[in-house]
Amino acid sequence: MSRVRTGEIRALSGLRIVAALWVVLFHFRPLLAEAAPGFNSALAPILNAGAQGVDLFFILSGFVLTWNYLDRMGESWSTRSTLRFLWLRLARVWPVYLVTMHLAAAFAIFTLYVGGHPLPPPVIESLNAMSWLKQVLLTQLWFQPYFDGSSWNGPAWSISAEWLAYLLFGGLVLIIFRIASATRARGLIWLAIAAALAPTLLLLAHGVFYTPWSWLPRIVMQFTAGALACAAVRKLVLTDRTQKAAGVASLLMGAAIVGGLYLLDANRPGDMLDAGGLVDVLFVPLVITLAIGAGTLPALLSTPVMVYLGHISFGLYMVHEIVHTAWNWAVLQFGIQLAPSWWAKFVVLGLILFAGVAAALLYHVVEEPARRWMRRMVEPNRARPAQPTETAAGRLKPVAARAG
């Protein structure tokens, strides 16, 4: 039997690329419909629900941060630890966020001076000092009920939402720690599922997922659900048999999500437009079973390729809409028309692969170097320079420095 509480959960790292690609394909639907209408039609129930990939990210974020910080920050309040946590979160997301934010702004300005097809007026009008300041501070979403148009780089709205969750985490982790100390794992799982239901209830009430301020319960409650799910996993004592059963359960859960999307598409409840959003209720069980499972789906998501793709998934999420916008501008500028053909399919695939290459570059050139640089600001290298010492033969020999 084992209880694991530290280290990377590789299956959840691999899950990140699945969530990111889901969002990417959601935004690329118009191109897929032009280039491969049969493919687009066959996968329509999945593609049309791609916005739910963001909700999966929110749950993953709450889970992973609680996994790493519950013991460090949960027992008692520490202003120093909280500020350090916030700086390290900035180190993780801010560099790529800032680069893609300014790339999106630069492209919008480029369209003003090149060709006769500038981006829509609301985009150009948003290029002002106050908008810039709000986006740099990651607060642009906090001032409006809808996330459309809140950011120069469309997907950045969710980073503004996550920043709010990070600011609340110092208090949330104290609550989660105390709930976990008084609650069994099974109870924590039910609490996690209940917390994740808030956006679903709003969907049932309105029939659409996108309503005024709907982003707020999405981030707060799904982030909290992820934190509670993590607290449950940390309390589980696992046998090999349990882990294998959880792996099979995760595979069945993934199949249920896909099958549920097709079922809801074919049998839409009432006038509900965003019926696919109902599969959100399966995200918490999916994350839990992947976190503790072995074999089958957890094994696939834990492969080196999937884990690496998971590591660059943030860059893909942040850059893909810039690639998409640039293509749409090129279509207008050069009169490009996509018709069902192999050439058109290669174009769409090429755009997605180009976004993937850009994501890898962002990861290796921006994200990781900047993260390490910012981390050194709060965790300075305490290694002392090598000091000479005398060997038995009377010669001086350097002693390797040790990290403090």
pLDDT value at position 3? 56
User: What would the mean pLDDT of 346-365 be, rounded to a whole number?
Assistant: 98
Does residue 387 surpass a pLDDT of 50?
no
User: What would the mean pLDDT of 258-276 be, rounded to a whole number?
Assistant: 93
Question: Percent of the chain at pLDDT above 90?
Answer: 88
Residue 8 C-alpha from the chain's centroid: 16
Packing angle, helices 79-113 and 313-334, rounded to 10: 10
CA torsion 324-328-331-334 (nearest 10°) is -100
SS3 237: coil
User: What would the mean pLDDT of 335-351 be, rounded to a whole number?
Assistant: 94
pTM above 0.85, yes or no: yes
What sign does the CA torsion over 122, 123, 126, 131 have?
positive
Lowest mean pLDDT among 106-110, 257-261, 362-366, 394-398: 394-398
Give the tens place of pLDDT for each residue, 74-124.
999 999 999 999 999 999 999 999 999 999 999 999 999 998 899 999 999
- The CB-based long-range contact list for 380-386 (8 Å cut-off, 24+ gap) reads none
pLDDT value at position 182? 97
User: What would the mean pLDDT of 382-394 be, rounded to a whole number?
Assistant: 42
pLDDT value at position 5? 58
SS3 278: helix
Does residue 41 surpass a pLDDT of 80?
yes
Full DSSP string of 327-353:
HHHHHHHHT----SSHHHHHHHHHHHH
pLDDT value at position 6? 62
Does residue 2 surpass a pLDDT of 90?
no
Does residue 4 surpass a pLDDT of 80?
no
The domain spans of the chain are 10-377
